[in-house]
Amino acid sequence: MRTILRRFSPSPSALIGVALIVAWGLVALLAPLIAPYDPSAIDFAAAADPHPSLAHWLGTDSSGRDILSRLIWGARTTFTVVPLAVVSAFAAGILLGVPAGYFGGWFDALVSRLSDVILAFPALIIYIILITALGPSLLNIIIAVTLAYAPGVSRIARGITLALREQDYVAAAQARGESSLYIMFAEILPNARGPLIVDLCLRAGYTVILTGTLGFLGLGLPPPTPDWGGMVVESAHLLPIAWHMAVFPCVAIASLVIGCNLLADGLRKEGLT
């Protein structure tokens, strides 16, 4: 732990980013312990006056559910959906991009043209089409994010592979008769990790926004799952009279996204990856 801290110490922005992400991660992990109420429990008394009070520090929503508890449980939702979706997108992108760069030829042509087609659509359109067609569920959100992000990831992986495959250590591995699989994933991929990790942090941030947006459009996980985006949309029309209902979930989304971006920025600048 101390060595990790020392590695990050030259970059305050990375440190703040890590702190924000770790804090939210702990909240998600410990949700059952720290949430003061059940996120779905309805407090009829509080619903009459939903504003922050001693009983409900961040107030309640229009149905009288405790916002703090819903935020804490909502972190759990975010920390399930986002990592799964991003890791899946990266797995797909790397599995396509590294061989495309390494082998070139028709496989590269095929992957690159397919990527072009998908990248031609705005990501949001892809989500809306897919989620409305398949229905909102954890798996479908993961599929949608993978489809939208994999082309971008595969381009990065392909570009790095193109440069790295000319290195002498790759030639040495080839001269030993190593399999292409070994060369791609044991010789090349570990050296591509730097830019890929930075990109992963950035895309994790986007995915937080995205799950929020999907929730806002009513395409998030079905209620009553506590969901930050869903919380915003449910209370947006009450903004003039009960600002806290929409603002607190927005702050939660923003802080996590900023955390991801600061980490990405710090890693890139300091070359810590």
Among 32, 169, 222, 239, interactor with other proteins by CB under 8 A = 169
Find the largest Cα–Cα distance for the chain.
Answer: 76
Using the rule CB under 8 A, is 104 a contact of other proteins?
yes
Burial of 158-179, coded b for 16+ CB within 10 Å and e otherwise, reads: bebbeebbeeeebeebeeeeee
Report the C-alpha gap between 204 and 11 in whole angstroms: 20
Using the rule CB under 8 A, is 9 a contact of other proteins?
no
Report the C-alpha gap between 67 and 179 in whole angstroms: 55
Strand residues in the chain grouped as ranges (E): none
Using the rule CB under 8 A, is 271 a contact of other proteins?
no
Using the rule CB under 8 A, is 109 a contact of other proteins?
yes
Using the rule CB under 8 A, is 159 a contact of other proteins?
no
CB-nearer residue toward other proteins: 160 or 214: 160
CB-nearer residue toward other proteins: 154 or 213: 154
Among 9, 53, 137, 180, interactor with other proteins by CB under 8 A = 180
Least separation in angstroms between residue 174's CB and other proteins is 5
Which ranges in 135-242 belong to alpha helices (H)?
Answer: 138-164, 168-175, 180-182, 193-216, 228-236
CB-nearer residue toward other proteins: 9 or 132: 9
Using the rule CB under 8 A, is 178 a contact of other proteins?
yes
Using the rule CB under 8 A, is 198 a contact of other proteins?
no
CB-nearer residue toward other proteins: 46 or 196: 196
Using the rule CB under 8 A, is 273 a contact of other proteins?
no
Cβ proximity of 115 and 151 under 8 Å: yes
Among 91, 167, 224, 239, interactor with other proteins by CB under 8 A = 167
Among 1, 3, 54, 105, interactor with other proteins by CB under 8 A = 105
Using the rule CB under 8 A, is 190 a contact of other proteins?
yes
The separation between the first and the last C-alpha atoms of the chain, rounded to the nearest angstrom, is 16
Report the C-alpha gap between 85 and 20 in whole angstroms: 20
Report the C-alpha gap between 256 and 78 in whole angstroms: 10
CB-nearer residue toward other proteins: 42 or 189: 189
Give me 100's structure tokens.
């495309």
Binding site for other proteins (CB under 8 A): 104-106, 108-109, 167-169, 171-172, 174-180, 187, 190-191, 193
